[in-house]
Structure 1
């Protein structure tokens, strides 16, 4: 999920392909040194906690133990009330009313620190803070009190789920996060049938947003950034949007998955409109869409778009750093793809190189790689059986050469 935000935030940040700020901050000058524990070498003012959280979560996902000082840096970024701001240069100074805390950085930190374990006090305070700033419609905006949006609501759902909460039971004024997401889901009329909007426009109307749709699907199925490979299906292929049941999270997720499948089908990727030029491929949002489709079980199109990312995302990831590599790792993980041979690129090695060396030993890495290989072998066998039995199905493993708030 890149950081896709309200107008106020976008003005400040210029969402993360869907998980990272859209405009890369300048590299530090010699007089502008950032903490050695921080992943990435660009200005962390708007996305420090976000990219650190994604980096640590991605490392954990592939069996890499992060550097202790990098985890400590993230923990120390927390304010006394449980919230996180994007970057606090001096964490010994108490947060105050001018500290720009937000739900996205906080939710990302919860997902990372919960996965790493041993930080229950930190994540507990963060979850309590998130609950305290829930809007009356059941959702969350990027900043406390801001209008609810699909992306923020979904990343908080992921944090709640990771922390062992039941999102449907986290209510404000009788409304749960799913109620908020359903109000942002489009109906089944027109070319944008089934999509999610980021937020209503000034007239209260909803406009389809592919990035928000990927987040919306992930949110309505109650998943976080890390999704385990699911059963191979072609569920979204030819699936019609069903408006009469849109008011259930399950149907909204199915409708959103259908929209994403259609949007990805022609070129294998999503696009990002660029003023004054032709639309450009949106690598981050495509990675998010792969994770969302895999979470919903629509692995056919997820596999195709994953292959497109393998062929085309290297330059984008190198330019955008740790959060981008993390997004690709999440996409690879969700589809059962080896992130250490991602179109010829070792995503894990590239991610590790953007920050402190992790604690993982070569022996541990070898064990992880063997485990990955065993998983792929199982899926290859399942795929062969599926094709032999019914003549359909997509063999993810047939192509197995072996992914920034």
Structure 2
């Protein structure tokens, strides 16, 4: 997912990296050799690039992907994530000095926090951290029922969807999380374009433009479909349905809005088998991250067969992108494989799980990247983790790497803040 966001308090600067790995509403461009183990891998962090803008996001996706395929993450990796949490429950994209308490200048955001909730719920044994994060998310819910990337920022489809994923992953009913009589679903449906639109019928917008108009956005649509279904970043295939069609019936139910969004994505993928990314007048390029997100959304809505085309394209073309982009990209592809029942260890000839594991501390029972065994390095998972183990969340994602942040407010690293046309 990719993001461009503005803050109500300050202007935002955005830097986009086309086709980059999924990130929150905003992410920074990858540095060289992102797939190599991080220089700080001993601390538990996945990936070798600067974590300033996406550390918590990519760590959360990596842990979710491992859990989705039955891999028990390294305790060091989980501890790295829990160590990033502020005392109020929120997460920033990255805190270099975790010994220093968070203050008003710490740029916490909803996307990092919601992703961390899903990852920690999946790995188990961190109930207090999860509850604190959920309490913070509820405390910054907007009056329209949704969430923006930064606390108090205008709601957007991507951020609202990723928080819905965090709520459902923890057994919280999103419709019961209400502010001024409005639930997250009320906010999310406000970004759905009607089927009567000449362009973008059935899609979701990221948020209204400066004139209040909703513009179709493929990334927001993939997120919106999952959010409307009450799904997170990690989800299996839904029940098989007929081909999705866009149907107007007054204010759509969330199920119909999901179907409308799926119909839009199906049409957008029909010609080339992938979504395209174009910024600043540049020629269209394949958007691997958004295509992977679309696969998850289509499979979740109507069954694995509905995502067969873009899945096949990813199997054929995405290996090099993931190698260049790092752990979040491998995780996105694993999510796509998981949603469609595809073996992630033989994804177009690539073992995505082994590739992901090699970018950081070895999971328990695996071969450590530094030559030591995971058992020696990390130890066995404790009984509390096993008792509290839960299912992971999902895409709400988000991401084609983009960086957007406002002075004193934070950036939109959720990869969801994209204002560009699909």
TM range (shorter): 0.7 to 0.9
- The 4+ residue runs of structure 1 with deviation greater than 2 A are 2-5, 7-23, 25-28, 32-36, 229-235, 274-277, 298-301
Match of 2:384 in 1: none
Which of 301, 315, 334 is the matching residue for 1:329? 334
Secondary structure class of the residue paired with 2:13: helix
Match of 2:229 in 1: 221
Secondary structure class of the residue paired with 1:7: coil
Q: Would you say the 8 A contact 2:2–2:16 is kept in 1? A: no
| CA distances 1:56-79 after superposition (whole Å, capped 9, x unpaired) | 110011011111111001001000
Alpha-carbon distance between aligned partners in 1 of 2:284 and 2:40, rounded to the nearest angstrom: 34
Q: CA deviation at 1:315?
A: 1.1
Match of 1:11 in 2: 13
Which of 328, 331, 350 is the matching residue for 1:345? 350
* TM-score normalised by structure 1 residue count: 0.84
Distance 1:345 1:10, change over 3 A: farther
Secondary structure class of the residue paired with 1:97: coil
Match of 2:316 in 1: 311
Match of 1:57 in 2: 64
Distance 1:323 1:17, change over 3 A: closer
* 1:206 maps onto 2:214 in alignment: yes
Secondary structure class of the residue paired with 2:276: strand
* 1:94 maps onto 2:98 in alignment: no
| CA distances 1:96-127 after superposition (whole Å, capped 9, x unpaired) | 00000000000000000001111110000000
Alpha-carbon distance between aligned partners in 2 of 1:22 and 1:38, rounded to the nearest angstrom: 17
Superposition map of 1:289-308 within 5 A: 289-308=294-313
Q: CA deviation at 1:250?
A: 1.1
Superposition map of 1:148-159 within 5 A: 148-159=155-166
Q: Would you say the 8 A contact 1:13–1:46 is kept in 2? A: no
Larger radius of gyration: 1
Distance 1:294 1:300, change over 3 A: same
Alpha-carbon distance between aligned partners in 2 of 1:143 and 1:273, rounded to the nearest angstrom: 25
Which structure 1 residue ranges, 5 or more long, are not aligned? 363-403
Which structure 2 residue ranges, 5 or more long, are not aligned? 368-400, 402-412, 414-422
* TM-score normalised by structure 2 residue count: 0.81
Match of 1:181 in 2: 188
Q: Which has the larger displacement, 270-279 or 101-110?
A: 270-279
Match of 1:45 in 2: 52
Q: Would you say the 8 A contact 1:158–1:219 is kept in 2? A: yes
Q: Would you say the 8 A contact 2:205–2:217 is kept in 1? A: yes
Alpha-carbon distance between aligned partners in 2 of 1:290 and 1:298, rounded to the nearest angstrom: 10
Alpha-carbon distance between aligned partners in 2 of 1:314 and 1:5, rounded to the nearest angstrom: 26
Q: Would you say the 8 A contact 2:239–2:301 is kept in 1? A: no
Secondary structure class of the residue paired with 1:11: strand
Q: CA RMSD in A?
A: 2.0
Which of 314, 317, 320 is the matching residue for 2:325? 320
Q: CA deviation at 1:35?
A: 5.3
